[in-house]
């Protein structure tokens, strides 16, 4: 049995941050290799790391700048500064692609779904346009309070073809020194080390079952209906699982599902910037990302169940147990 999830708190030096930070803004990149997803990953890792440096200087020290949909949906100067830096780095290398950042969206008038639809309709430049979806600080309330439960999330969506596909992503927790990354079809990595989960005596990933699981529950408060659904879920699960958590950072939670630190996560009313990086990261780690009806989630999904790597041939065991219990207790309708 083995588990290779130990993280080196210092950033990796092989082919990512240290090859970019020296001249982040001095090289426009080679347009001929612009669709090389490994190059794209290098850029977004560098952008996430650079933004992380801002947060390390300001975590727990910066005042609230404004609120969004309610008094608990915070914005700080660091959110704005991080997004501006990320956008500058990405658009310097990929000036013809599309950028969607949370801090550019008026959630009161437009909403996340409307903003995403506009962004998806913008991919008409070039043969293979990309959409970069960014949450500069996912978990701003945690960040403002000085808690290490926030992350910088950058997802990359290919707009080629009829159906957008998430093809790469990074989730970076600066305080913990955890850079989780993935490119579609190439596996999931933690600080440049490929994630390999604990195995059983047959060298198969260990099976996760509900009563042995540590599960994170989303607690969306913007709508009374989702708040009530979440409350019912907590009541239903409290005695059926090993433990419940509410981390209040979707991307950080999804990274920890990919690491197998959490067995599952589910939430309602998510936005594209919450999940864009996490979807490909969890899937490349061997986990499942599903809509509440069991279908595969994508960039437009709002209500999702995310489960960690399960035993081969039984990939949906934990998800199906979770869906069954949530449906029985009327947690999936709101």
pLDDT tens track for 176-216: 999 999 999 999 999 999 998 766 666 666 667 899 899 99
pLDDT tens track for 107-144: 555 667 888 888 887 655 567 899 999 999 999 999 99
Superfamily of domain 17-194: Fructose-1,6-Bisphosphatase, subunit A, domain 1 (3.30.540.10)
Q: Which residue has the tokens 């907590």?
A: 234
Confidence at residue 178, expressed as pLDDT on a 0 to 100 scale:
99
Does position 32 have pLDDT exceeding 60, yes or no? Answer: no
Measured over the CA atoms of residue 76, residue 77, residue 83 and residue 89, the dihedral's sign is: negative
104 appears as a binding residue in the annotation: no
Confidence at residue 123, expressed as pLDDT on a 0 to 100 scale:
53
Confidence at residue 229, expressed as pLDDT on a 0 to 100 scale:
94
Does position 34 have pLDDT exceeding 50, yes or no? Answer: no
Asked if 138 and 151 count as a contact pair (C-beta separation under 8 A), the reply is yes
Question: Do the two domains 17-194 and 210-328 of this chain adopt the same fold?
Answer: no
57 appears as a binding residue in the annotation: no
Q: Which of 135, 40, 129, 156 is nearest to 86 (CA)?
A: 135
Spell out the alpha helix ranges (H) of the chain: 17-20, 37-58, 77-93, 112-120, 140-145, 224-237, 250-258, 272-284, 317-328
pLDDT tens track for 241-297: 999 999 999 999 999 999 999 999 999 999 999 999 999 999 999 999 999 988 999
Confidence at residue 160, expressed as pLDDT on a 0 to 100 scale:
86
pTM, entire model:
0.85
Could you please state the CATH topology (level 3) that the domain comprising 210-328 is classified under. D-Maltodextrin-Binding Protein; domain 2 (3.40.190)
Does position 23 have pLDDT exceeding 70, yes or no? Answer: no
93 appears as a binding residue in the annotation: no
179 vs 186: CA distance, rounded Å: 16
Q: Which residues fall within 8 angstroms of residue 169, CB to CB, at 6 or more apart? A: 44, 153, 154, 155, 156, 181, 182, 276, 277, 278, 279, 280, 281
12-21, 68-77, 121-130, 158-167: least confident range: 12-21
Q: Which of 48, 61, 270 is nearest to 170 (CA)?
A: 48
DSSP 3-state assignment of 191? coil
pLDDT tens track for 54-103: 999 999 987 566 554 544 546 788 999 999 999 999 999 999 999 999 98
Q: Which residue has the tokens 């990261």?
A: 281
Q: Which of 216, 310, 314 is nearest to 262 (CA)?
A: 216
Confidence at residue 61, expressed as pLDDT on a 0 to 100 scale:
87
200 appears as a binding residue in the annotation: no
Does position 4 have pLDDT exceeding 60, yes or no? Answer: no
Confidence at residue 274, expressed as pLDDT on a 0 to 100 scale:
97
Residue spans of the domains in the chain: they are 17-194, 210-328
Asked if 175 and 59 count as a contact pair (C-beta separation under 8 A), the reply is yes
């Amino acid at each position: 049995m083995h588990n290779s999830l130990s993280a080196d708190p210092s950033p990796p030096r092989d082919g990512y941050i240290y090859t970019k930070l020296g001249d982040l803004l001095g090289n426009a990149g080679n347009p001929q290799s612009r669709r090389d997803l490994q190059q794209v990953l290098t850029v977004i890792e560098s952008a996430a790391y650079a933004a992380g440096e801002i947060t390390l200087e300001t975590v727990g020290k910066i005042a609230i700048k404004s609120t969004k949909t309610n008094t608990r949906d915070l914005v700080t100067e660091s959110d704005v500064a991080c997004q501006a830096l990320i956008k500058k780095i990405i658009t310097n290398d990929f000036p013809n692609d599309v950028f969607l950042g949370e801090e550019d969206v008026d959630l009161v008038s437009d909403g996340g779904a409307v903003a995403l639809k506009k962004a998806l309709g913008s991919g008409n430049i070039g043969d293979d346009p990309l959409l970069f979806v960014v949450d500069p600080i996912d978990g701003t309330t945690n960040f403002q309070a000085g808690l290490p439960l926030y992350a910088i999330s950058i997802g990359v969506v290919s707009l080629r073809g009829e159906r957008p596909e998430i093809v790469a992503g990074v989730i970076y927790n600066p305080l913990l020194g955890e850079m989780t990354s993935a490119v579609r079809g190439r596996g999931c990595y933690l600080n440049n080390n490929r994630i390999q989960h604990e195995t059983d005596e047959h060298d198969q990933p260990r099976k996760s079952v509900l009563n042995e699981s540590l599960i994170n529950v989303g607690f969306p408060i913007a709508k009374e209906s989702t708040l009530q659904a979440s409350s019912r879920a907590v009541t239903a699960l409290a005695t059926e699982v090993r433990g419940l958590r509410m981390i209040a950072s979707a991307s950080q939670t999804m990274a920890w599902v990919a690491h197998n630190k959490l067995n599952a996560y589910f939430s309602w009313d998510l936005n594209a910037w919450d999940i864009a990086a996490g979807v490909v990261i969890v899937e490349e780690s061997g986990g499942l990302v599903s809509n509440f009806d069991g279908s595969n989630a994508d960039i437009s999904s709002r209500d999702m169940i995310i489960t960690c790597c399960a035993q081969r041939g039984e990939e949906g065991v934990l998800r199906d147990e979770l869906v069954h219990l949530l449906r029985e207790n009327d947690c999936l309708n709101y």
